[in-house]
Structure 1
Amino acid sequence: MSERLRVAAAQLVSVPGDVATNVASAVRAVEQAAADDARLLVLPELFLTGYVMPPPIVEPDDSALVPLDDAATAAGLLVLAGAAVPTPEGRRLSLLSFGGGVRRVYDKQHLVEGEQPHFVPGDHGVALDVDGWPVGLSVCYDGSFPEHARAAAQAGALLYVNAMAFFAGSEHRRDLYYRSRALDNGMYVLTAGLVGRCGDAEFNGGAAVHDPEGRTIVSAPAGSEAVVVAELDRRVVESTRAAHPMLADVRDLGDVVRLAAG
């Protein structure tokens, strides 16, 4: 179990339907993250297939994904990347993991209005073990719900990661959501975001890592592709939760009773 964990967040442009081009971009991001000794790299929402509706899809066993898995494996790096994936229940907006095989590890649970006609929501959260660090997984709109990050924290997560695609103009909400999720739960939060044009939409990036008090440790430059790396310290989570014990002190508040004034 490692006291420290180096993590990387990517801010990248995605080409709709061009899995090979997006995989090549992801491989370059792996090389950058590995050069800075990261152990985990998170790529944006729907990065591999592009954020357009209706979405292109990719099977986890598609040969086009092999170069990314090979690069992650060679670097000793776990990579999480968003994709539209077909399943027996319907199309899922998923996170795939790379590095020793491709796996579908998480399905987005909260779908925004434009996604709802095209995807089936996930039915459970996930905490993924990375070098002994429980890592809560989320995709974009999931992070707008305090309950989602709280469930991950209550399951033991020390880090909450979000693969996102925020439209241009939403920068204030984007940053406030994830800094708040960190402060709410005394845990690190990592965000990886699409940037630039994808289909008919413009995306605003937002790749960053926030500490357990919601302070930004590192963030990508606005408007450009980048991979940012931060080192996390388990002791910082422990000391923050001891000083600000909202996670431990949360109570079942019962029903809200409405009373007439006067």
Structure 2
Amino acid sequence: MTEHAAQYRPHPLPSRPLRIAAAQAQAEAGDVDANAATVAAMVHDAARAGARLVVFPEKFLSGYEPDLVRSDPRRCAVRSGDPRLAPIADACRETGTVAVVGAAFHAQDDLYVSALVIDANGELAARYDKQHLFTSEHEIYRAGAAGCTLELEGWRLGLGICYDSGFPEHARAAALDGCHAYVVGALFGVGNGYHESRTWFPARALDNTCYAVLANHIGTTGGWNACGSSAIWGPDGRPLAEAAVDRPELITADLAPEVLRAVRAPEPMLSDLGDTTAHTRTRHRLG
């Protein structure tokens, strides 16, 4: 379903908490099969930790490998119905978990930086394409045309990919659509990337009084030295969980409706906004 989110739509708070997970691991350059196996194993880990949804880093299925993707998109990018996604679909179906997996995606003659949403039935339920492409990505990928809101157990979750999170308007568009959390897979590098992530995500959370979730790469990928440190922030911008800098890890946090209510009472920025510029979004209700 595609709609325009032109002003804040008060959306009922969920009736119960939702446990969400962010996963980080070392991606194997250009090896979709190996990386899909890693995703499947971590979906099982997330389920054992009680999470209903787990998010993975940007382009994790190939690694952040622009040269490889450009030179061999058939091997490094995935398509609808791609059999290499089967282990992830099986893991989601077996555990009843939703996975948001970063991938280079090939549609018709275009490549996209995408977040693939595999639902608890093992189906590709949604695809979000990165709207704000980073410098060199313009040479390879087409920018996405719409934001994406997931609905899961009464929770609205707005998707983002890496550089999207540097634009306050992107998270604000999700909040205007009633999102309770902003969920992002990314590649942030050591040094300035860590600084950016620790500036942008607390700001996106507090600006919109919503949870913010970051899944980041570790190790080296595409020539970048990733800083790990995947994290989850509360709607007041304070950190709830943070992963290590350099090792595979899964972190979880419980998104709680009573916390949203308590933070939003003294911070009424959303309800005080009024009309804003329209943003196109798609919505996907998950089982």
Tell me, in whole angstroms, the C-alpha distance in 1 between the residues paired with 2:106 and 2:127: 14
**1:134/1:52 Cα in 2 relative to 1: closer, same or farther (>3 Å)?**
same
Tell me, in whole angstroms, the C-alpha distance in 1 between the residues paired with 2:208 and 2:275: 16
Shift of 1:66: 0.2
Q: In the alignment, which residue of structure 2 is the partner of 1:41? A: 54
Shift of 1:103: 4.1
- 2:227 is aligned with 1:214: no
Q: Contact 2:79–2:107 (CA<8 Å) still a contact in 1? A: no
Q: In the alignment, which residue of structure 1 is the partner of 2:24? A: 11
5+ long unaligned stretches in structure 1:
255-262
Q: In the alignment, which residue of structure 2 is the partner of 1:161? A: 183
How many pairs were matched up? Answer: 254
Of 130, 139, 150, the residue aligned with 1:128 is: 150
Shift of 1:196: 0.5
Of 138, 144, 151, the residue aligned with 2:166 is: 144
Q: Contact 1:167–1:201 (CA<8 Å) still a contact in 2? A: yes
Q: In the alignment, which residue of structure 2 is the partner of 1:72? A: 92
- SS in structure 2 of the partner of residue 195 of structure 1: coil
- SS in structure 2 of the partner of residue 229 of structure 1: strand
- SS in structure 1 of the partner of residue 204 of structure 2: helix
Q: In the alignment, which residue of structure 1 is the partner of 2:248? A: 225
Q: Contact 2:118–2:126 (CA<8 Å) still a contact in 1? A: no
Q: What percentage of residue pairs aligned between the two structures are identical?
A: 37
Q: Which moved more, 1:199-208 or 1:245-254?
A: 245-254
- SS in structure 2 of the partner of residue 92 of structure 1: strand
Q: Deviations over 1:53-112 (max 9, x none)?
A: 132211131111101110011110000001011113611110111232124420000001
* Runs of 4+ more than 2 Å apart: 250-254
Tell me, in whole angstroms, the C-alpha distance in 2 between the residues paired with 1:238 and 1:38: 22
**TM-score, scaled to structure 2:** 0.85
Matches within 5 A, 1:167-206: 167-169=189-191, 170-206=193-229
Tell me, in whole angstroms, the C-alpha distance in 2 between the residues paired with 1:227 and 1:146: 27
- SS in structure 1 of the partner of residue 37 of structure 2: helix
Q: In the alignment, which residue of structure 1 is the partner of 2:107? A: 87
Q: In the alignment, which residue of structure 2 is the partner of 1:257? A: none
Q: Contact 1:57–1:83 (CA<8 Å) still a contact in 2? A: yes
Tell me, in whole angstroms, the C-alpha distance in 2 between the residues paired with 1:251 and 1:120: 32
Tell me, in whole angstroms, the C-alpha distance in 1 between the residues paired with 2:92 and 2:35: 15
CA RMSD of aligned residues (A): 1.6
Tell me, in whole angstroms, the C-alpha distance in 2 between the residues paired with 1:207 and 1:60: 28
Shift of 1:252: 6.4
Tell me, in whole angstroms, the C-alpha distance in 2 between the residues paired with 1:253 and 1:148: 13
Q: Deviations over 1:204-234 (max 9, x none)?
A: 1231110000000001011111000111101
Q: Deviations over 1:127-180 (max 9, x none)?
A: 111111010000000000010000100100001101001122121111110111
Tell me, in whole angstroms, the C-alpha distance in 2 between the residues paired with 1:188 and 1:252: 23
Shift of 1:239: 2.1
Shift of 1:17: 1.2
- SS in structure 2 of the partner of residue 221 of structure 1: coil
Q: Which has the larger radius of gyration?
A: 1
Tell me, in whole angstroms, the C-alpha distance in 2 between the residues paired with 1:89 and 1:137: 24
Q: Which moved more, 1:51-60 or 1:222-231?
A: 51-60
Q: In the alignment, which residue of structure 1 is the partner of 2:268? A: 245
Which of 1 and 2 has higher RCO (CA within 8 Å, sep 6+)? 2
Tell me, in whole angstroms, the C-alpha distance in 2 between the residues paired with 1:126 and 1:253: 18
Output the amino acid matched with 1:61. Answer: G
